[in-house]
Homo-oligomer: A and B are copies of this chain.
Amino acid sequence: MDSSKYTSRLLEKAVNEFSRLPGIGRKTALRLVLHLLRQDVSESESLADSLLQLRKEIHHCKICHNISDQEICQVCSNPDRDRSLICVVENIRDVMAIESTQQYRGVYHVLGGILSPMDGIGPANLTVGSLAERAMTGEVKEVILALSATMEGDATNFFIYRKLADSSVKITTLARGVAVGDELEFTDEITLGRSLLNRTLFEESIRKP
């Protein structure tokens, strides 16, 4: 798009800033900026303020690296959570997904990504070191690896498994199987094979939610 078309330098600057966000092209950015111009000034101010405040005051929890308003996040500081159980996830969105199941009462460890040589993410970019430190304290009994069921996720799982091999903690991973609501004939053969190998007692399966 030819930048000379913009009749206002301020408008062009705001569009440029918005279009740097992922998934926002120049046309969408222009639509958003023109929308803000039509709204009350307070709308733009509260959006700008929330961004500045977020970047100024946000912390990463010193224990689990989750995003938090305090130095220790509300999961780690909650006395009702089971500190002997650590769930290892890729990012905060996964924490939110697991929290919304209301099935988990342990604590988390946010890796900040998964090993991905293509994207230049190596062990140094992840918080595996601090996970190992936590696992060595003796307080922790089990580490649940809850990463994506992809090649990168499996590689990261294996990397963590080897890092924690010296500790006495039990290392588990999420069950792989047929998703609830899926039809059997459309399930891929690897998933189906694993769900056969890891079949559970029917009595147990009906007792779970």
Which one of B49, B73, B91 contacts A34 once the chains associate, using CB atoms below 8 Å?
Answer: B91
Q: Is the pair B74, A14 in contact by a Cβ cutoff of 8 Å?
A: no
**Any B CB within 8 A of the CB of A99:** yes
Answer yes or no: A181 CB below 8 A from chain B CBs.
no
In the assembled complex, which residues on chain B have CB atoms less than 8 Å from the CB atom of A31? 22-23
Which residues from B are CB-within-8-Å of A33?
54
**Most chain-B Cβ atoms within 10 A of its Cβ — which of A5, A10, A43?**
A10
Q: Taking chain A's interface residues, is the majority helix, strand, or loop, or is none over half, making it mixed?
A: helix
Is the CB–CB distance between A10 and B58 below 8 Å? yes
A195 at the interface (CB under 8 A from B): no
Complex Cα gap A16–B53 (Å)? 14
How many residues in A have their beta carbons less than 8 Å from beta carbons of B?
57
- Distance in angstroms from A131 CB to nearest chain B CB is 18
**Once the chains are docked, how many angstroms separate the CA of A51 from the CA of B10?**
9
Query: In the assembled complex, how far is the CB of residue A48 from the closest CB belonging to chain B, in whole angstroms?
Result: 4
With the chains together, A7 CA to B34 CA distance in Å? Answer: 32
A182 to B93, CA, bound (A): 46
For A23, the chain B residues whose CB sits under 8 A away are: 28, 31-32
List the 6 closest A-B pairs by CB distance, nearest first: A48-B48, A17-B47, A17-B50, A14-B50, A44-B55, A48-B51
